[in-house]
Chain A
Amino acid sequence: MSRRAVVDVTPDAVLKFNKPTEKFLCPVSANTFIEFLEFRIRDVESNRAMFEVKRPSHEIDWNARDLSGSDELRKISYTFPAEFLSYKAIGTTLVFAVCPAGIKNFRMIERHYFKNRLIKSFDFTFGFCIPGSVNTWESVYTMPPLDSDQIQEMIDSPDQTMSDSFYFVDDELIMHNKASYRYST
């Protein structure tokens, strides 16, 4: 498979998507630029972590990365307690390492859907990333207020809340991840 995206996937194209994609839009091997080190989701009011993953070490050997990963590794399924849906503010933190050459323009677009309807879209431009750097980004946002019927519908519909995360370097898609969400009572 080539290192380039399978189709010409631009940020503008992604921003028009209104449902989850059926396939991944670039190969795993497209990402020679960044490595995720940590990801965390917290309830801002209590500063309690709801989800946390960390690599044991921040040291990356850029010459020996395994870029042959299967699609299963690009999908994550989250289970959150139902109370998550009534939190006022959520913070998501991403820690990532940047390749020794650095990045001129780094951008992330994330589309969240419920039952194939867009419910939230994030578009963040990091811009320049220092060669060999380790960087942290926390996005804190208030949750849209949901009434009890909406909350029940989301609880009753496991994995119908989904998201696509697209990462671009100089407007070229280098990484695409998917997530699905379920809420347990």
Chain B
Amino acid sequence: MGLLTVLKKLKQKEKEIRLLILGLDNAGKTTILKRINGEDISSISPTLGFNIKTLAYNGYKLNIWDVGGQKSIRSYWRNYFEQTDGLVWVVDSADRPDRFADCKLELHGLLTEERLSGASLLIFANKQDLPGALSSEEIAELLDLKTIQTHHWQIVGCSAVTGENLLKGMDWVVTDISKRIYMLD
């Protein structure tokens, strides 16, 4: 249970944190969620709603919401912004070139949302195991991440299939959230 060890870092005052996983369809959001929970990832179909994981550990609670990324569902994303401490934006690093423009547009749109204004932002450059996958530096360039001033952000190259760097990314976002809450205190 890698995630439970990440949770151990939380301090007493952040009893409950909420992460929202978003991204275009087929980015690998659900696969990442299942992978970090030690579940089978061999047959995952498009998410036509949400997948939620609630992890309770020693009185701490981590709620992770993964909402489907198909175009028809994206207009419902805003229903899940409330109380989000961390936004995890998942990118298919081997996606068709024309989809990166869409990906950038959707991400920058979210960053103007008031209800997400306090959230830490983790970008997972997923599918690094695929030939032709762009590096996290190239993804950062395509998504114009350096212009983001409003949120703490970090990009992590990862693979949901091999598990590479998933916990590293989750650890960053949980640590960033707990530091931020500590400073507000």
A residues with CB within 8 A of B: 44-45, 47, 89, 91, 98, 124, 126-130, 132-142
Name the contact of B53 in the complex, choosing from A47, A126, A133, A140 (C-beta under 8 A). A140
Chain A contacts of B114 at CB under 8 A? none
Is the beta-carbon distance between A142 and B58 smaller than 8 angstroms? yes
Q: Given A44-B1, A47-B39, A136-B51, check contact A141 B56 (CB 8 Å).
A: yes
- Size of B's binding interface in residues, CB under 8 A: 23
Number of residue pairs A-B, CB distance < 8 angstroms: 69
Chain B contacts of A124 at CB under 8 A? 54
Chain A contacts of B48 at CB under 8 A? 130, 132-134
What residue of chain A has the Cβ atom nearest to residue B76's Cβ? A130
Q: CA A141 – CA B73 in complex, angstroms?
A: 30
Chain B contacts of A91 at CB under 8 A? 37
27 contacts between A and B (CB under 8 A): A45-B1, A47-B38, A126-B50, A129-B49, A129-B50, A130-B48, A130-B50, A130-B68, A130-B73, A130-B76, A133-B48, A133-B49, A134-B49, A135-B49, A135-B50, A135-B51, A136-B49, A136-B50, A138-B52, A138-B53, A139-B54, A140-B37, A140-B56, A141-B55, A141-B56, A142-B57, A142-B58
Q: CA A140 – CA B62 in complex, angstroms?
A: 10
What residue of chain B has the Cβ atom nearest to residue A139's Cβ? B54
Nearest CB on A from B81, distance (A): 11
Q: CA A48 – CA B125 in complex, angstroms?
A: 30
Is the beta-carbon distance between B56 and A139 smaller than 8 angstroms? yes
In the complex, B12 has a CB within 8 A of chain A: no
Is the beta-carbon distance between A128 and B38 smaller than 8 angstroms? no
Q: CA A132 – CA B48 in complex, angstroms?
A: 8
In the complex, B140 has a CB within 8 A of chain A: no
What residue of chain A has the Cβ atom nearest to residue B38's Cβ? A47
In the complex, B79 has a CB within 8 A of chain A: yes
Chain A contacts of B79 at CB under 8 A? 127-128, 130
Task: Kindly list the 4 A-B residue pairs having the minimum CB-CB distance in the complex, ordered from nearest.
Answer: A133-B49, A128-B79, A135-B49, A141-B56
Which chain B residues (63-78) contact chain A, with CB distance < 8 Å? 68, 73, 76
Q: CA A22 – CA B82 in complex, angstroms?
A: 37
Chain B contacts of A138 at CB under 8 A? 37, 51-54
Nearest CB on B from A15, distance (A): 17
In the complex, B185 has a CB within 8 A of chain A: no
Q: CA A44 – CA B1 in complex, angstroms?
A: 8
Chain B contacts of A45 at CB under 8 A? 1
In the complex, B98 has a CB within 8 A of chain A: no
Nearest CB on B from A59, distance (A): 12
Q: CA A119 – CA B81 in complex, angstroms?
A: 33
Nearest CB on B from A45, distance (A): 7
In the complex, B80 has a CB within 8 A of chain A: yes
Chain B contacts of A47 at CB under 8 A? 38-40
Q: CA A110 – CA B82 in complex, angstroms?
A: 24
Q: CA A120 – CA B172 in complex, angstroms?
A: 32
